[in-house]
Amino acid sequence: MSFSFQLAHALPEAILAIGALALVLVGALGGQKKSWIVAELSMALLGAALLACLFQPKASTILFHGLFIDDAFARFMKVLALTGSLVSLLFSLEFLRVNKMDTFEFPVLILLSSLGMMMLISSNGLMSLYLGLELMSLALYVLAAFQRDNSKASEAGLKYFVLGALSSGMLLYGASLIYGFAGTVTYTGIAAAIHGTASIGIIFGLVFLMTGLAFKMSIVPFHMWTPDVYEGAPTPITAFFASAPKIAAVAVTLRVVSIAFPGIVPQWQQIVVFMSVASMALGAFAAIGQTNIKRLMAYSSIGHMGFALVGLSAGTQQGVEGVMIYMSIYLVMTLGTFAAILSMRANGQPVENISDLAGLGKANKPMAFFLAMMMLSLAGIPPLAGFFAKWYVFVAAVHAKLYLMAVLGVLASAVAAFYYLRIVKIIYFDEGGPAFDPASRTLRTVLAVAGVFVLAFWFYPAPVVQAASLAAKSLF
């Protein structure tokens, strides 16, 4: 395998890695006056990496002495994660300028975090998994506390860091147990060492590994950081947290359980089923009392991760395909909703209360319509995209004979519909306060594109479904 061959398969990573280093230099030499150049170049780099992912050679290949894998699954998830990063960075630029936070480090940290996500998605062993996870998370901790004069943001950053370090510790402990009992850290090696029956040590390691990953996905019972961090972090960064890192964490969880532990499905299935049901329930009930829309989105994202795991708990190719479709639709809905939340500015100040949306139906008809569509889609009302997302994972669960789980999931979904519908009611039927300031073109475009996707998905779902099906095949 020649070096240029390896590079062709790792081109998106190479673009981000070299680009991030170059931009650190540009920023360090040019000073903060050059921060806008760094930001625009970062967007260009993310765009280039996205294109490189789309036009990569199609064969699945293992590179760098078995540490890195490039397959259809990795490409699909990388496209999603990079889209999340790109749109979040787009959200950030205007926000940072207004709040006088436009330093060159910000886009560089987004780039480094995205690089970590891609290493994570393409990891082919526990060591690459850990390094990718740390690279991703370390940048996220800093981004959470980026507004360092704001005590809430600092608190968010500190909480995220302390709990994140704890979860990394658990993950490492699990990885060391697995290494000790399997004698190898590559996923295929672990699968070969298990032979269908795992020793208690491997199962212990698996539990701790799942704990660390569940923390990154903010799955119950490792979700406690999510509402505080989402509320405290600046809104565009919250949008970033809710989109790209979640995709990467779900991707690596899918890969680990389907490639390293296919022999002991019942062992991890019970963990995933519990976490999934608990997340769906918590996401449904805890969000009801929320008044801050960012906190509400935090609980909503916990619930949605629970729904995505329904597909994983099936442990089948169909289930993995369902999770991938779920994550694609979740990404679009999240970014669209956050575009609307960022547009909530009155008298030049951001407002975050759900009650501030009152009267939007009269004041700003397009925004009200698209935001209402986002909420209905998040609730899973047919024929919007959110319904199909849930459809695919529940069908997989029913095929795997997880009837009780499917029933509980649908019930949780019905409860969760209450608070999404309440927002729609506030938008259209409550008497309004002051109107919002006009939103920027970027935010309007993102909201409109997300709205059109959500509305039109059932006309033409083939591109997403086919790509997901092809990608899921590469894991089995």
Partner 1 sequence: MGAVAVFFYVFAAVLVASAFLVISAKNPVHSVLFLILAFVNAAGLFMLLGAEFLSLILIVVYVGAVAVLFLFVVMMLDVDFAELKQGFSQYLPVGALIGLIVLIELTLVVSGFVITPVALHQAASPVAQDANNVLALGEVLYTQYFFLFQGAGFVLLTAMIGAIVLTLHHKPGLRRQNIAEQNARTREDAIDIVKVASGKGLRAAE
Binding site for partner 1 (CB under 8 A): 17, 20-21, 24, 63-65, 67-68, 103, 105, 108-109, 112-113, 115-116, 119, 127-128, 131-132, 134-135, 138-139, 141-142, 145-146, 148, 157, 180, 183-185
Q: How far is the CB of 50 from partner 1 (least distance, A)?
A: 20
Q: How far is the CB of 421 from partner 1 (least distance, A)?
A: 41
Query: What CA–CA distance (Å, rounded) separates 43 from 40?
Result: 5
Q: How far is the CB of 64 from partner 1 (least distance, A)?
A: 4
Cβ-based nearer residue to partner 1, 5 or 418: 5
Q: How far is the CB of 24 from partner 1 (least distance, A)?
A: 7
Q: How far is the CB of 127 from partner 1 (least distance, A)?
A: 6
Q: How far is the CB of 8 from partner 1 (least distance, A)?
A: 15
Q: How far is the CB of 462 from partner 1 (least distance, A)?
A: 36
Cβ-based nearer residue to partner 1, 19 or 451: 19
* Under 8 Å between Cβ of 250 and 331: no
Cβ-based nearer residue to partner 1, 134 or 356: 134
Cβ-based nearer residue to partner 1, 20 or 342: 20
Cβ-based nearer residue to partner 1, 119 or 446: 119
Cβ-based nearer residue to partner 1, 62 or 470: 62
Q: How far is the CB of 84 from partner 1 (least distance, A)?
A: 19
Residue 385 phi, psi (nearest 5)? -60, -35
Q: How far is the CB of 112 from partner 1 (least distance, A)?
A: 5
Cβ-based nearer residue to partner 1, 128 or 318: 128
Cβ-based nearer residue to partner 1, 64 or 173: 64
Cβ-based nearer residue to partner 1, 117 or 340: 117
